[in-house]
Amino acid sequence: MIDTSLKRNYTGENQAAALPEPSRRRLVRLMQILRQTKAERLTSAEIGGLVGCRDTLVRRDIGLAGFRGGVSNGYDTGALLSAVERALGAGDGAAIRRCCIVGLGRLGTALLDSSIFDGSGFAVVAGFDSSVNRTEILRSTFPLYPASRLEAAVAAERIEFAILSVPDREAQSVTERLSRCGIRGIVNFTAAAFAAPEGVRVENVSPVTALLTLAAGC
């Protein structure tokens, strides 16, 4: 059995782990809105329209994030953004988080375009594929490795997150390998469902999964 007691070593004053999951998701969304908006002030009702929830809930979330600065014409977007980023551990001072892409098929290579991640707080610093052909031919601003070097490179590059775009059948085994070298989260672009190892979070974002989820409600 895997010992979980040592999995989390808190490296900062990040309180996000204490936030309820739904609030965390909405606050992430709010952070993205605030990063993009040009408005100087926003009310909870306006935010609710963009996040997709009621104004009351927006105010709750903001309260949970530890921000109190609202006045009768809404929130100052700059101040609110700082507070939300701090609550989510994505503040100005926060280190850029290092990611890798595993599986350089059509979808994986599309993500080599690192401009996608500009200003997000994340940087892709490595790519992996089982085909040496691909890792040698493809061009990118960061190194591409054969899959055999996954463990070594993840450790050496101190990579925290992985974007998984391998064929479905490899998803489970690659996940286990990633987990063993201490990855903290996986963005799963495959349609495969796999057991998330202890201490590894998974976000399922396969287009197929997303379409199924959408369609299931209609």
Partner DNA sequence: TACTGTGAACCTATTCACAGCA
Partner DNA sequence: TGCTGTGAATAGGTTCACAGTA
Binding site for a second copy (CB under 8 A): 8, 14, 16-17, 19, 21, 24-25, 27-29, 31-33, 36, 49-52, 88-90, 97, 99, 106-107, 109-111, 113, 116-117, 120-122, 160-161, 163, 168, 184-187, 189, 191-196, 201-218
CA distances from 181 to 18, 131, 173, 178 (A): 26, 21, 13, 5
- The CA-CA-CA angle for residues 162, 180, 160, to 5°, reads 35
Q: Is 115 helix (H, G, I), strand (E, B) or coil?
A: helix
Q: Which is nearer to DNA, 173 or 213 (CB)?
A: 213
Residue 211 interacting partner from a second copy, DNA, none (CB closer than 5 to 8 Å by kind): a second copy
Q: Which of residues 60-119 bind DNA (CB under 7 A)?
A: 60, 62-63, 67-75
- The beta strands (E) that lie in 10-157 are given as 41-42, 75-76, 97-102, 122-129, 144-146
Q: Per the structure block, which two tokens stand in for 116?
A: 């996608």
* Shortest CB 44 distance to a second copy, Å: 14
> Which of a second copy, DNA, none lies near 36, with the C-beta cut-off 5 to 8 A by kind?
a second copy
Cα–Cα distance measured from residue 179 to residue 197, given in angstroms and rounded to the nearest whole number:
7
How is residue 97 written in tokens?
């988080």
Binding segment (CB under 7 A) for DNA, from list 38-46, 84-92, 126-134, 146-154? 38-46
- What residues numbered 5-24 form the site for DNA, per CB under 7 A? 20-23
Alpha carbon distance 166, 60 (integer Å): 39
Q: Which one of DNA, a second copy, none is in contact with 63 (Cβ closer than 5 to 8 A by kind)?
A: DNA
